[in-house]
């Protein structure tokens, strides 16, 4: 199978499994928000923020490194995965203890504090182990195994969660089931690997452990700054406002999170091929980055416009009048969908070209911007301050990743981005003028027509893109 078709297959399979899981999770989130109440929904999201910090930092960047390393050397699967599990387990246990201390120092109400302690104790380590196994599977490019494991286990978890909540169980049951879900997924991965490779076992090598620990430090720092500070909005809201504010804010960004959560699966499936392509042909590597940048813009800008147009209907119909304030949050947050995808693409291009250190700078700057903007804007603007800070941080990261990618590529990424940005600004201006005049449907249709026309007339897209795709298929 040629690389383009393999990337398409892998990204499709991984995206399908992630999308199914996220949609199922959206059903659960909708049920909690709509029927359990804003305060408990806010409590759930506050607890989940600490779990996500642990899950993001616990793998120590190995979930980013493993696909690249195993993608280059499949025969070292046992050693690489075994060594990674040792590192991930040790880091996660230390991190859970640190997070528990932080929660204690924040001095949440006792009931909320106990719930956070429970979630940290049972839900973080199983997810970290599952992510490491999944990273190894991505490295050998067998994404169909992810589908086999995730979809049935997701059905069981969401079904059991809805049933138990309906019967009156407390929110804590969701974290218990989340832990069991990841234990089950990891077990399935292990069984599949054992059946496919009869001699498979976790075979840590202590020299490899030390090597991976230091090699992944840039990944770990980058991920740590990105994810720790990425959860700071809900933590600050929960302390400076109240749990209901967290619930309203979480409802507003829920759809955006669902869309953006597909990005890691797409980038993970691209990463092994990007790494190999960079080594084999810089020219074709450049062409692929430019082509995917265009494809992301072609898909996600229209999606952003659709979200802006339907935000009021989605919130009021889906969650009810109690979440009216979430409409503005959703409309503003929609602006980060496209930047989030192109930023991640350029970041992965930087990593694939062995420039991990540049990723650290992006993470540090973005993390400091995140916490600074939240501390500055939330006290002044409340819910809207949190979403303003979110947008500002994403825009800063996007610009930084663009600068890094542009310095790596021999192709003219700057010229392409300027053309695409011009088309977006023109179309966005048309949309805004018509939308402000209450021509919502007309604004949607005409702005997209203007966008397509601008792309063609500016020669941003054309026959050369088809030729570029045909060239990539010959790699």
- pLDDT above 90: residue 17: no
Over residues 388-401, the mean pLDDT reads: 95
Q: Who contacts 103 (Cβ-Cβ below 8 Å, separation ≥6)?
A: 50, 113, 116, 117, 120
Q: Band of the pLDDT at 429, cuts 50, 70, 90?
A: very high
Terminal-residue alpha carbon distance, the chain: 10
Let me know if residue 471 belongs to a domain. Answer: yes
Q: Report which secondary-structure segment, H or E, holds 231.
A: none
**Co-location of 305 and 182 in the same domain:** no
Going by C-beta distance under 8 Å and a sequence separation of 6 or more, which residues neighbour residue 91?
A: 57, 58, 59, 60, 220
Where in the sequence is the domain holding 393, given as residue range(s)? Answer: 234-250+277-475
pTM (predicted TM-score): 0.82
- The verdict on residue 399 lying in a domain is yes
Residues 330 and 255: their CA atoms lie apart, in Å, by: 8
Mean pLDDT lowest for which of 5-19, 162-176, 280-294, 309-323? 5-19
Q: Shortest CA distance to 458 belongs to which of 418, 430, 431?
A: 418
**Range of lowest pLDDT (133-137, 163-167, 247-251, 259-263):** 259-263
Is the same domain home to 59 and 118? Answer: yes
Q: Is the pLDDT of residue 335 over 80?
A: yes
pLDDT confidence tier of residue 475, bands split at 50, 70 and 90: very low
The answer on 246 and 183 residing in a single domain is no
Q: How many domains does the chain have?
A: 2
The answer to whether residues 174 and 239 belong to one domain is: no
Which has the minimum average pLDDT: 65-79, 93-107, 171-185, 320-334?
A: 65-79
Q: ∠80-81-83 over CA atoms, to 5°?
A: 65
Neighbours of 442 (CB within 10 A): 13
Share of the chain above pLDDT 70, in %: 94
> Does residue 94 belong to any structural domain of this protein?
yes
Do 90 and 38 lie in a common domain? yes
Report if residue 227 sits inside a domain: no
The rounded distance, in Å, linking the Cα atoms of 257 and 207 is: 39
Strands (E) located in 136-211: none
> Tokens 């790699």 correspond to what residue?
475
240 with 198, same domain: the answer is no
Instruction: Indicate whether 311 and 392 sit together in one domain.
Output: yes
- Domain-located, residue 262: no
Handedness of CA 388, 260, 224, 188 (dihedral sign): positive
Residue 89 and residue 203 in one domain:
yes
* 359 within domain boundaries: yes
Helices (H), 197-281: 206-215, 217-230, 232-240, 243-260, 262-280
Q: Please indicate, yes or no, if residue 283 is contained in any of the structural domains.
A: yes
Same-domain status, 57 and 148: yes
Mean pLDDT to the nearest integer, 172-195:
97
Q: Name 49's Cβ contacts closer than 8 Å, sequence gap at least 6.
A: 231, 234, 235
Kindly state the tokens that stand for 362: 């992006």
Same domain, 334 and 380: yes
Q: Are residues 200 and 303 in the same domain?
A: no
Express the helix, strand and coil content of the chain in percent, nearest 5 each.
90, 0, 10
* 160 and 293 share one domain: no
Domain-located, residue 265: no
Report residue 273's pLDDT band, with 50, 70 and 90 as the boundaries.
confident
**Is the Cβ–Cβ distance between 113 and 81 less than 8 Å?**
no
């Amino acid at each position: 199978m040629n690389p383009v078709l393999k990337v398409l297959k892998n990204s499709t399979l991984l995206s399908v499994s992630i999308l199914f899981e996220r949609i199922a999770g959206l059903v659960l989130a909708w049920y909690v928000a709509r029927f359990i109440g804003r305060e408990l929904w806010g409590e759930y999201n506050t607890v989940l923020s600490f779990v996500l910090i642990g899950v993001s930092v616990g793998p120590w960047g190995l979930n980013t490194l493993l696909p690249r390393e195993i993608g280059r050397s499949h025969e070292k699967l046992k050693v690489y995965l075994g060594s990674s599990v040792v590192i991930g387990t040790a880091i996660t246990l230390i991190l859970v203890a640190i997070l528990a201390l932080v929660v204690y120092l924040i001095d949440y109400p006792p009931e909320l504090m106990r719930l956070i302690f429970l979630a940290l104790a049972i839900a973080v380590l199983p997810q970290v182990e599952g992510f490491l196994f999944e990273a190894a599977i991505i490295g050998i490019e067998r994404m169909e195994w992810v589908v086999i494991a995730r979809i049935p286990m997701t059905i069981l978890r969401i079904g059991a969660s809805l049933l138990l909540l309906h019967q009156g169980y407390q929110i804590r049951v969701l974290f218990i089931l989340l832990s069991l879900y990841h234990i089950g997924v990891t077990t399935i991965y292990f069984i599949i690997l054992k059946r496919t490779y009869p001699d498979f076992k976790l075979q840590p090598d202590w020299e490899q452990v030390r090597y991976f620990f230091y090699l992944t430090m840039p990944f770990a720092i980058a991920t740590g700054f990105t994810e720790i500070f990425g959860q700071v909005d809900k933590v600050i809201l929960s302390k400076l406002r109240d749990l209901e504010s967290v619930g309203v804010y979480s409802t507003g960004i829920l759809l955006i999170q669902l869309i953006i959560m597909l990005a890691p699966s797409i980038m993970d499936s691209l990463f092994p091929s990007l790494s190999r392509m960079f080594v084999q042909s810089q020219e074709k590597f450049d062409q692929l980055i430019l082509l995917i940048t265009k494809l992301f813009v072609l898909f996600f800008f229209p999606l952003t416009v659709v979200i802006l147009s339907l935000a009021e209907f989605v919130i009021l119909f889906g969650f009810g009048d109690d979440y009216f304030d979430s409409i503005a949050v959703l409309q503003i947050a929609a602006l980060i969908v496209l930047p989030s995808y192109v930023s991640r693409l350029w970041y992965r291009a930087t990593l694939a070209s062995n420039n991990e250190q540049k990723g650290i700078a992006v993470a540090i700057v973005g993390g400091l911007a995140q916490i600074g903007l939240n501390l500055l804007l939330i006290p002044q603007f409340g819910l809207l301050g949190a979403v303003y800070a979110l947008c500002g941080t994403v825009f800063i990261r996007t610009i930084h990743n663009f600068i890094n990618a542009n310095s790596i590529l021999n192709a003219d990424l700057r010229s392409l981005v300027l053309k695409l940005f011009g088309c977006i600004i023109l179309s966005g201006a048309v949309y805004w003028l018509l939308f402000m005049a209450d021509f919502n449907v007309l604004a949607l249709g005409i702005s997209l027509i203007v966008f397509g026309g601008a792309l063609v007339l500016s020669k941003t897209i054309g026959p050369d893109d088809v030729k570029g795709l045909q060239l990539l298929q010959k790699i």
